[in-house]
Chains A and B, each alone.
Chain A
Amino acid sequence: MVVLAMRNLFRNTRRTLITVLAITFGLAMVHLTITLQTGSYADLIRTGVSSMAGHVVVQAKGYQEEKDGDLVLTRTAEISQRLAKAFPEGTIAPRLVLGGLITSPRGSVGAAVSGIDGAAEAKLQEIDEHVVQGTWLTGDARGIVIGRDMADALQVGFGDKVVYMGQHGGATEVSSRLFRVIGIFRMGNADLDGFVAFVDLPAAQEAFGQPDVANQVTVHLPDPNRSPAAAAEARTLLADIDGIEVLDWKQALPELFALIEVDKTSGDVMLFLLGAIVAMGALNTVLMAALERTREFGVMLALGLRPQQLARLILTEGLLLGLMGAGLGLVVGTALSWPLVHYGLDYSAYMGDTYETAGVVLSSVIKGRFNPLRMTTYTIAATFMTAAAAIYPAVQVARLQPVEAMRHT
């Protein structure tokens, strides 16, 4: 039966090959898309989580909803120590973001000043590698690292003095603090380069006017999938501290994950449509091949072949067609994806060195990543879609009456 089906397929070698290649090409496109998607999602999540959240995020109760900079943790050091002990493999990064004004003798800009642990963030983010002048944070309580555009707006350079001014913690007075520019970075992103500055956490706490505070203490784990379990652990660990909330990565960045889900779904719809088009091609091939053999089917039925057996023959032909196309598609798709995984796709000519999605600044060299599970799923789905395309012709031939079929020319 399989032999007969195979030979039938290669009766019209050209038509079969065209169909197989259509399936191959379609599926290869699918594999490419999946590889790029998987890579860019992984990138987006990794960068987004490490710069804007963590795998475990501890923050003042209500901060998640209100994003009010005055909602702070008051026992930052103790929380950090406990978390460091509980997650020795992780990196602990406390963060305190101040919104205010940075001024120089020649200008002023609104800025978000991040008070952070410079050494910890250097492990998590790439920003320290983008310092183009001076150094990254050194633990100098007066040191500030600002973006290239901000430096231009303030007309300051390395070593120059700037003043931060802001109103925090319900204070009635504006507090100010003097800093010296110890580093200038360039990320290639206007928001980061123009409006973000980094200082050491103690300096930010002083500017805030209260010691030992932070908006968040974040834990970054080597295995991101442990996030929910680790968050649960941390919740128990910190149960005795009032006024805090402990989130896992998805709770901390719901918009980011929602965006990825939406993107994935719309991608799936596209891929499904592509699959449907290819399946139509397969249907055409199998149907044509069946119709032009009506006479022959009549003879086979007359000889005593059962209609179900005839239907099975057609289904086998569809399945073989699908197997050939999907198998080749997997091979070709993997081969084409290989360079994407190893070298990435360089969009810098169009987008500059970085681009922004959902508030996350990403490198414009997008690296693919193989996703064996989805690739297998789509390969199997393509096979079955092609086989399913043979159902209609199979039902048709099963209805043939031998005498009428043989009169068919």
Chain B
Amino acid sequence: MSIVHVSDLHREYQQGAVTVKALRGVDLTIEPGEFTALMGPSGSGKTTLLNMIGALDRPTSGKLLVDGKDLASLSSSQLSDLRLHRLGFIFQSYNLIPVLSALENAEFVLQLQGMARDERRKRVRETLAQVGLAGMEDRRPGELSGGQQQRVAVARAIAGKPALVLADEPTANLDSATAQGLIELMEKLNHEHGITFLFATHDPRVMEAAHRVVRMVDGKVAEDLRK
């Protein structure tokens, strides 16, 4: 079963009198274990598409199945639950809670899932070690570098063992070497643990690493390349 199945998806925004057509009939299917990069010029609809798949926003029309569920039929609290239990998110930047330590940030999702404290702590320590942050559990985001912060975000995204991790330009604010490290980390997680990733990105290094590159133009899929 595919994790994501999108067909003829439209999303229009009303901006005053103008209707902005952000998505104009997208068709896309993502299978488990894929490591896919969405690319395309600015304004082509990458973020919009990720938000639809991430159940953060509703399409204007079209079919949208995530983890086998038709999102149109779910209530907003069911969508919350879907995000909490089945999806992981990594955003461009500043997406950690500044007053919580690395460990507390990473365990946030598990806490919401209602996992018992001891199990949670164990899981989070393992996950932080996986992303190379062993020993930095007690640091607050302000005491971590940008790359380390993104690693905490990755740990938070994967700690809950989601079916799909969505990442919107995760490397955009990182320097080249740090970005490379983060990409390798995600590749490793994909390779070793079979975690499915879907990126929106302009970063050529991400496209390099991706197994599949979907190019969007004007709110449509223009090219779908599997390596």
Quick check: B85 and A304 within 8 Å, CB to CB? yes
Residues in A with CB closer than 8 Å to B91 are 299, 302, 406
Quick check: B89 and A303 within 8 Å, CB to CB? yes
Does A306 belong to the interface (CB within 8 Å)? yes
Chain A nearest Cβ from B205, distance in angstroms: 25
Residues in B with CB closer than 8 Å to A299 are 89, 91, 95, 97
Quick check: B97 and A302 within 8 Å, CB to CB? no
Residues in B with CB closer than 8 Å to A302 are 54, 56, 83, 89, 91
Give the contacting residue for B109; candidates A7, A301, A304; CB below 8 A.
Answer: A304
The CA of A301 and the CA of B79, in the complex, are separated in Å by 11
Known: A11-B98, A11-B99, A296-B97. Is A303-B56 also a contact (CB below 8 A)?
no
The closest CB in chain B to the CB of A297 belongs to B97
The closest CB in chain B to the CB of A404 belongs to B57
Residues in A with CB closer than 8 Å to B84 are 303-304
Contact flags B108-143 to A (C-beta < 8 A → 1, else 0): 110011000000000000000000000000000000
Give the contacting residue for B99; candidates A4, A309, A406; CB below 8 A.
Answer: A4
Quick check: B89 and A403 within 8 Å, CB to CB? no
Give chain B interface residues in 24-47, CB to chain A under 8 Å.
none
Residues in A with CB closer than 8 Å to B100 are 4, 7
Does B73 belong to the interface (CB within 8 Å)? no
Does B80 belong to the interface (CB within 8 Å)? yes
Best-surrounded residue of A7, A295, A309 (most CB of chain B within 10 A): A7
The closest CB in chain A to the CB of B140 belongs to A7
Quick check: A403 and B99 within 8 Å, CB to CB? no
Chain A nearest Cβ from B170, distance in angstroms: 14
Residues in A with CB closer than 8 Å to B112 are 303-305, 309
The closest CB in chain B to the CB of A295 belongs to B94
The CA of A296 and the CA of B83, in the complex, are separated in Å by 16
Interface residue tally for chain A (C-beta within 8 Å):
19
The closest CB in chain A to the CB of B51 belongs to A403
Quick check: A304 and B51 within 8 Å, CB to CB? no
Residues in A with CB closer than 8 Å to B98 are 11, 296
Chain A nearest Cβ from B85, distance in angstroms: 7
Interface residue tally for chain B (C-beta within 8 Å):
23
Quick check: B99 and A7 within 8 Å, CB to CB? yes
The closest CB in chain A to the CB of B79 belongs to A304
The CA of A304 and the CA of B89, in the complex, are separated in Å by 10
The closest CB in chain A to the CB of B92 belongs to A406
Quick check: A304 and B81 within 8 Å, CB to CB? yes
Chain A nearest Cβ from B78, distance in angstroms: 11
Chain A nearest Cβ from B91, distance in angstroms: 7
Chain B nearest Cβ from A255, distance in angstroms: 59
The CA of A294 and the CA of B57, in the complex, are separated in Å by 17
Residues in B with CB closer than 8 Å to A403 are 51, 56-57
Contact flags A1-25 to B (C-beta < 8 A → 1, else 0): 0001001100100000000000000
Contact flags B187-204 to A (C-beta < 8 A → 1, else 0): 000000000000000000
Residues in A with CB closer than 8 Å to B97 are 4, 296, 299-300
Does A402 belong to the interface (CB within 8 Å)? yes
Does B77 belong to the interface (CB within 8 Å)? yes
Contact flags B54-93 to A (C-beta < 8 A → 1, else 0): 1011000000000000000000010011011100010100
The CA of A402 and the CA of B83, in the complex, are separated in Å by 12
The CA of A205 and the CA of B199, in the complex, are separated in Å by 108
Quick check: B54 and A303 within 8 Å, CB to CB? no
Residues in A with CB closer than 8 Å to B54 are 302
The closest CB in chain A to the CB of B99 belongs to A7
Residues of A that sit less than 8 Å from B by CB: 4, 7-8, 11, 295-296, 299-306, 309, 401-403, 406
- Please name 18 further chain A to chain B contacts, defined as beta carbons within 8 Å, in addition to the given A295-B94, A401-B57, sorted by A numbering: A4-B99, A4-B100, A7-B99, A7-B100, A8-B99, A11-B98, A296-B97, A296-B98, A300-B108, A302-B54, A302-B56, A302-B83, A303-B83, A304-B80, A304-B113, A402-B56, A403-B51, A406-B91
Q: What are 9 A-B interface contacts by the 8 Å CB criterion?
A: A296-B97, A303-B109, A303-B112, A303-B156, A304-B84, A304-B85, A309-B112, A403-B56, A406-B91
Residues of B that sit less than 8 Å from A by CB: 51, 54, 56-57, 77, 80-81, 83-85, 89, 91, 94-95, 97-100, 108-109, 112-113, 156
